[in-house]
Each structure stands twice: as structure tokens, then as C-alpha cells.
């Protein structure tokens, strides 16, 4: 399913939510969560192509798989964190969304430690 179909599905569900929200607000939240899950599953299949390309490029550039995997995990954490926070905001839970974003930032920082250590080590080796 392409982006146009996903956007179309999003518009349809948005219209349904606008109609339903007046009478059954809990159903509107459930529709929003269902759409989020469907979009997430549809996008997952596209990510495999990108991951394969990154791995091939890293192999050609002789970049350690440890650093590539770490970088890909950081990107994944950032996307999933943003996605989860937006779902919470859609449900009217801005405070929960903020906590999810905070946790995502901490996880990114922890995951980045090996890359930061490598950069610092490289800088120290370059200094006479």
C-alpha cells in the first residue's frame, strides 16, 4: 500500500472520528488507535528495503556492523517514540506523550555512548 492509500485511509478514519466523537468519544479513540496500528504495520514492510540498503552500503564502506546496528536502533527508537507520543496526544494524553518522549531521549543517549566513545577516541588519536 502506497502513501496515497495510507493518507486516504487516514482521511476516511478522521472523518469517521469527527462524526463519532460527539456521541461516542471512547470509540473515536479506539478508531484512532486502530488506524495507528494499521499504519505502523503497513510501514514496517517498507523499512526492510531501507535496512538492506544501509547494510549493503556499510559493508562496502567497511563500517563495523556494531556501529551501523547502533545507528539503526537509534533511528528506530526515535521513530517509534515519536509515533507512540503522537498516538497518546491524539487520545488527549499529552502528559503521557511527554513521558514517552523523555524515555525515548534517554534511550537514544544510552545507545549513542559507543559511537560517542569512538568519535572521542578518534579525536584523541589525531591529536599529537
Please report, for the chain, the start and end positions of each structural domain, with discontinuous segments joined by +.
1-59, 64-128
- Residue 68: its pLDDT value, please? 85
Q: Which residues contact 35 (CB under 8 A, 6 or more apart)?
A: 9, 10, 13
On the 0-12 / 13-18 / 19+ scale of CB atoms within 10 A, 7 is exposed
Return d(Cα 52, Cα 119) in angstroms, integer: 25
Helices (H) and strands (E) in the chain, counts: 4, 0
pTM (2 d.p.): 0.72
- Model pLDDT for residues 90-103, shown as the tens digit of each residue: 878 899 999 999 99
- Residue 100: its pLDDT value, please? 96
- Cell digits of residue 127: 591529536
pLDDT > 90 fraction of the chain, expressed in percent and rounded: 27
* Angle made by CA atoms 6, 78, 39, in degrees to the nearest 5: 15
Contact predicate 84/102, CB 8 Å:
no
pLDDT at residue 128 is higher than 80: no
- Model pLDDT for residues 30-56, shown as the tens digit of each residue: 888 888 889 888 888 788 888 888 889
Return d(Cα 100, Cα 82) in angstroms, integer: 8
pLDDT at residue 57 is higher than 80: yes
Amino acid at each position: 500500500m502506497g502513501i496515497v492509500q495510507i493518507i486516504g485511509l487516514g482521511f476516511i478514519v478522521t472523518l469517521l472520528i469527527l462524526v463519532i466523537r460527539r456521541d461516542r468519544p471512547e470509540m473515536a479513540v479506539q478508531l484512532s488507535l486502530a488506524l495507528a496500528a494499521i499504519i505502523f504495520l503497513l510501514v514496517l514492510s517498507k523499512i526492510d528495503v531501507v535496512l538492506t540498503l544501509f547494510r549493503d552500503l556499510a559493508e562496502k564502506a567497511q563500517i563495523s556492523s556494531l556501529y551501523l546496528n547502533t545507528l539503526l536502533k537509534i533511528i528506530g527508537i526515535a521513530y517509534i517514540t515519536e509515533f507512540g507520543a503522537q498516538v497518546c496526544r491524539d487520545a488527549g494524553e499529552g502528559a503521557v506523550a511527554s513521558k514517552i518522549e523523555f524515555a525515548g531521549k534517554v534511550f537514544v543517549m544510552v545507545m549513542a555512548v559507543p559511537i560517542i566513545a569512538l568519535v572521542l577516541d578518534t579525536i584523541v588519536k589525531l591529536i599529537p
